[in-house]
């Protein structure tokens, strides 16, 4: 099996090596081009797979390991980070805009929610006003 199978018209498959922050055999991490918060990161499998649910278990394990690695590095880099949202959009109607599976790691900070209520209830759905 080719674990790095790529698609010629996929922006994640064509990604320039210089933009990769971390990588292993099965996945890599990059900064999100349209970040919700500072240091918003994408963890992407190297194999072109449009749907997260079609990933192999070893790819999911590698993605999880990369998420933990990046999380730890971000906490060392930025002591204002007090939490994270982890998310996957599967399908157009769920908000997926690049059809190469990827996982969002979104750093959160105290009071980055609605300043009036300072209530993160509902997670990312209500996390960032006007986003």
Delineate the domains of the chain, giving CATH numbers in brackets: 17-125 (3.30.428.10)
Q: Which residues are catalytic?
A: 102
Q: In the predicted model, is pLDDT for residue 127 greater than 60?
A: no
- Spatial distance between the Cα atoms of 129 and 11, rounded to a whole number of angstroms: 28
Angle at 3 between CA 101 and CA 98, to 5 degrees: 20
Q: Which residue has the higher pLDDT, 90 or 118?
A: 90
In tens, the pLDDT along 94-108 reads 889 999 999 999 999
Among candidates 17, 62, 26, which has minimal Cα distance to 46?
26
- Look up the pTM and report it: 0.85
In tens, the pLDDT along 5-60 reads 788 889 999 887 778 999 999 999 999 999 989 999 999 999 999 999 999 999 99
Is 40 in contact with 104 (CB distance < 8 Å)?
yes
Is 127 in contact with 120 (CB distance < 8 Å)?
yes
pLDDT score of 93: 86
In tens, the pLDDT along 64-91 reads 999 999 999 999 999 999 999 999 999 9
Q: Which residue has the higher pLDDT, 121 or 108?
A: 108
Using CA atoms, how far residue 7 sits from 16, 87, 131, in Å, is: 14, 23, 30
> Which strands, in side-by-side order, build the sheet including 81-87?
20-23, 27-31, 41-45, 103-109, 81-87
């Amino acid at each position: 099996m080719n674990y790095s199978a790529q698609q010629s018209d996929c922006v994640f498959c064509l990604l320039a090596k210089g933009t990769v922050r971390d990588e292993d055999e099965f996945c890599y991490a990059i900064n999100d081009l349209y970040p919700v918060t500072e240091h918003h990161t994408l963890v992407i499998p190297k194999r072109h797979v449009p749907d997260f649910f079609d990933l192999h278990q070893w790819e999911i394990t590698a993605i999880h390991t990369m998420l933990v690695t990046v999380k730890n590095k971000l906490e060392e880099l930025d002591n204002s980070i007090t939490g994270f949202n982890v998310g996957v959009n599967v399908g157009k109607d769920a908000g997926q805009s690049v059809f190469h599976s990827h996982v969002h790691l979104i750093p959160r900070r105290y009071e980055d929610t609605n300043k009036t209520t300072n209530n993160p209830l509902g997670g990312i759905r209500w996390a960032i006003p006007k986003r």
